[in-house]
Amino acid sequence: MRLRVLVYNVHGFRAGARRVADVVARLDPDVLLLNETGGRWRLRRFARRLGARAAGDPWSPLRRRVKDAVLVRPPWRVVEHRLVRFEPADRWLPRGAIVAEIARDGVGMTVVTTHLGLRPGERIAHARELVRLVQGRDVPVLLGGDLNERPDGRAVATLTRHLHDAWALGGGDGDGETFPAVDPTARIDYLFVSEDLRVERALVPSALPEARSASDHLPLMAELHLVPEG
């Protein structure tokens, strides 16, 4: 079974949800791991435009939002999802992860999207929490997002001890830089996969002119193949 996965910090759709949707439609993913999704109405409109279902953070009157989301397009469906808030929490910019269980044709998968913070110590602690979330799963795992860290960082190292870096396995030309979109110099957006997913190709579509203006990040795209059991 083949699977196309997109990791994308959409910058709150500040450039317009239509512009981001045009970029995504060109890449035609099955599963999207989004960060900085802005208001809920923007996310819902964006998902409808793509014919996708969105799994985001639940509404709360007392807490600020963790603006990450997992989107899936048919025949994939979201079976269930939850928000995991990281501690200690930043009052004004809380961090966390959306953990979604998705399925199609009897095949299940765990998908986690996250946006780590700017402080190194915080990133390491949250990376360890992410490892605890995915350890021991009996289904394939996808974990990705904006880690705010280059590949030599300690949070990235924590994750690569337990999951495989899709870019390292299938990246093409260049070093996978995604930020800033206009002239990318830093690889800070990642996709990690469990060993039962084979990475056939990973790419950053820097040649798409519309991608350079749709967000302050470029998307990361990966084409995967589910390795049959046995």
| Low-confidence residues of the chain: pLDDT under 70 | 61-62, 89, 91, 229-230
Q: What is the pLDDT of residue 89?
A: 65
Which residues is 78 bridged to in the sheet? Answer: 102
In the block, tokens 């079976």 appear at: 79
Q: What is the pLDDT of residue 155?
A: 98
Provide the H-helix boundaries in the chain.
17-27, 40-50, 120-134, 154-160, 166-170, 211-214
pTM: 0.95
Write the Ramachandran bin of 58: left for phi over 0, alpha for psi from -120 to 50, otherwise beta: beta
Rounded Cα–Cα distance for residues 116 and 84 (Å)? 13
**What are the tens digits of pLDDT across the range 96-138?**
999 999 999 999 999 999 999 999 999 999 999 999 999 999 9
Rounded Cα–Cα distance for residues 96 and 170 (Å)? 27
Give the single-character DSSP code of 95: -
Give the single-character DSSP code of 147: -
Domain count of the chain?
Answer: 1
**C-beta of residue 40 within 8 angstroms of C-beta of residue 13:** no
**CATH code, domain with 194:** 3.60.10.10
Structural domain of 13: 2-226
Closest C-alpha to 158, from 124, 135, 186: 124
Provide the angle, in degrees to the nearest 10, between the axes of the packed helices 40-50 and 17-27.
40
The terminus-to-terminus CA distance of the chain in angstroms comes to 15
Q: What is the pLDDT of residue 165?
A: 97
For the record, the structure tokens of 214 come out as: 């749709």
Closest C-alpha to 220, from 62, 184, 66, 196: 184
- Return phi, psi of residue 94, to 5°: -65, 150
- The alpha-carbon radius of gyration of the chain (Å, integer) is 16
